[in-house]
Structure 1
Amino acid sequence: MTRAECRAAAPALELAFSVPERGLDIAFSVPAGSTTALIGGNGAGKSSTFAVLSGLLRPARSRVVLGGTTLSDSAARRWRAPHARGVVQLMQHPLLFPTMSVADNAAFGLQAAGTPAAASRAAARDMLARVGAGELAERRPGRLSGGQAQRVAIARALVTDPALLLLDEPFAQLDGGSAAEISGLCAQLLIGRTALLITHDPVEAHALTDRAVVLDAGRVVQTGTWEDIARDPATPVAHRFVAGR
């Protein structure tokens, strides 16, 4: 499948929500198949946005549509539970189950969704091989390095083929060499996927994303490609990102 075909198969995202008590009133869209950076200072609303998308935060007013699926619509009193959203979050801490093998960790999401155990493990092993962790399948997480554990977490996230992938500082706990290597791997795996990235690293943002949404004090102040942002950065954070790539 070509890059264009991948983008055509991926869903677009439309998001709007407000949480007045937190000073949040955020609305933006993500094109189908785009990996978009969500940037802003502390308290800008990045983590709350991820919580709304994953279903962990249910604002009084919200509308989230992913492809043709409505994840939430407060006006219509519609809300889809977190496990039924097709949204997967990859965080800086892999959070692998310590008593399960790497293969079983990677297969967990599929099995939880009802895929038979044998098929889940086969798909998990295939994905582990794709992320360069195939030889680790029978190890326990306690025997993995930080970089190896994050590869397993990436395999676990992608094996379910999520409609939307949320990446929350996914390489922050890795040393420079491991972070660069796994970032390069992710850049290939994210082609054609609809994804959002939170990062404080301009180099990482430009390596993984083609667009940005700039948040400031709970509002969207700028959106567009990196070239759009660079022409007139709306905030000091946006300026740092375009200057530090």
Structure 2
Amino acid sequence: MQAGESKDAIFEATGSTVGVNNVSFEVPEGQIFVVMGLSGSGKSTLVRMLNGLIRPTAGEILVDGEDIASCSPQTLRAVRRNKIAMVFQHFALFPHLSVADNAAYGLKIKGVGTSERRKRAQIALEQVGLGAYTDSAPDELSGGMQQRVGLARALATDPEVLLMDEPFGALDPLIRREVQDELLRLQKALRKTIVFITHDLNEALLLGDQIAIMKDGKLVQVGTAQEIVDHPTDDYVAAFVADIDRGKVFTAESVAEQPVFLQLGTDTAETAVQSMEDVQRNALYVMNGEDIAGVVTYQDAAAAVRTDGVTLADVVSSDFQTVDADTALSELYAPASNGLPIAVTDDNNRLLGVVEPGAVLAQLSGEPAASVDAAAAAKP
């Protein structure tokens, strides 16, 4: 490997497979870090290294400064019991134990007393929506529910790090999406540090704060979903993301611009026309202090200039669209169709940015913003 030989050449010469090759990454606390790749890319080997199931031949694996790669068996057991939990693809539930006892199993290994582990298991089951199934047997539950029991078992020990090795791979598509949504809901509340393994790019894009794409044991790109879709590092990554629905990856925030706006009581129809010509926009938002009063178009402002007694306030329209910053672009199709800018607002309805219809179309097409159809950004 140090001489630069390929994975295939090393296998042919030695009979040994290079599972993970010089991989380096850092997972910030509270994030979901998704590792994805095709079968044989090394992703499952990688996740098994993170809890010491496979020892690397070189390198370090640091969890809170503790090197899992070189620590003693006693230290490794302590890390597994107190800091790391794993959720498996095929549930790995004990068929002879109840749902509650399965959820409490990690606590039992830690030596937690019966009443306390029952209490904590119940809390974990309620977190995943299975509080009413504590005394059921695993085979009485659906596949999605069984996987939630596996997740509850991991959560019951209150680990700092969750390792999830293709945990939803055995589920039907509809159930899989339900459990993905459940994980996102839990993560929003619990903010665990999660390393999630998958071969499904759509799943990676949905779940990952950061995504690492593996090929032949190496990381070929690490970034956010938007970075990977917008700027694939090579042809391999580009082929992965070629058919992705960009409308589900990008958000209003990703195409929003700093708002140029007018103020009631200060601006006039004349200054509105001049402002729109200066910034080459056919409509601008009008503010009343920090509140959005409405939107005015170039056509209406110009008409007001030509008509005696008509002010800017008279031509401001209250028929405008607002969205949150994290609204998916797919949800902006309809609002963008009327040709007016879309207001991006916060929880207090304050104007954070403006999305021009042309910017939505440009991002969905994968073209640079500068190449937006001239009709969407032309000088009015």
Indicate the TM-score class for this superposition, using the shorter chain for normalisation: 0.7 to 0.9
Determine if the alignment matches structure 1 residue 106 to structure 2 residue 96: no
In the alignment, residue 172 of structure 1 is paired with which amino acid?
Answer: G
RCO higher in 1 or 2 (8 Å CA, sep ≥ 6)? Answer: 1
Superposed CA RMSD: 2.2
Matched, 1:158 2:162: no
TM-score by length of 1: 0.83
Q: How many residues align?
A: 224
Please list, as runs of the form range in 1=range in 2, the aligned pairs for 1:1-245 lying within 5 A after superposition: 21-23=16-18, 24-25=20-21, 26-73=23-70, 80-82=75-77, 84-85=79-80, 86-191=83-188, 192-235=191-234, 238-239=237-238, 240-241=240-241, 243-245=243-245
Q: Does the CA-based 8 Å contact 1:99-1:140 persist in structure 2? A: yes
Change (3 A) 1:133 1:237: farther
User: For residue 226 of structure 1, what is the amino acid of its counterpart?
Assistant: A
Counterpart Cα distance in 1 of 2:242 and 2:51? 28
- Percent identical pairs in the alignment equals 35
Query: 5+ unaligned residues in a row in structure 2: which ranges?
Result: 1-6, 11-15, 246-380
Paired AA for residue 115 in structure 1: V
How many angstroms does 1:189 deviate by?
1.5
Unaligned segments of structure 1, at least 5 residues? 1-18
- Which of the pair has more CA radius of gyration? 2
C-alpha deviations, 1:25-75, integer Å up to 9, x for none?
2221112211011012222210110111121111221311112333224xx
Tell me the TM-score normalized by structure 2: 0.55
Distance 1:242 1:202, change over 3 A: farther
Distance change >3 Å, CA 168–CA 235, structure 1 → 2: farther
Note if contact 2:56-2:69 (Cα within 8 Å) is conserved in structure 1: no
Structure 2 letter corresponding to 1:244: I
Residue 230 to residue 152, structure 1, CA distance change in 2 (3 Å): same
Per-residue deviation at 1:235? 4.8
Contact 2:212 2:219 (C-alpha < 8 Å) held by counterparts: yes
Amino acid across the alignment from 2:58 = R
Distance (whole Å) between structure 2 residues aligned to residue 172 and residue 147 of structure 1: 11
1:166 positional shift: 1.3
Q: How far off its partner does 1:120 sit? A: 0.5
Q: CA deviation at 1:84?
A: 2.9
Higher strand share: 1
Contact in 2 for aligned 1:202/1:242 (Cα 8 Å):
no
Q: Distance in 2 between matches of 1:154 and 1:114?
A: 20
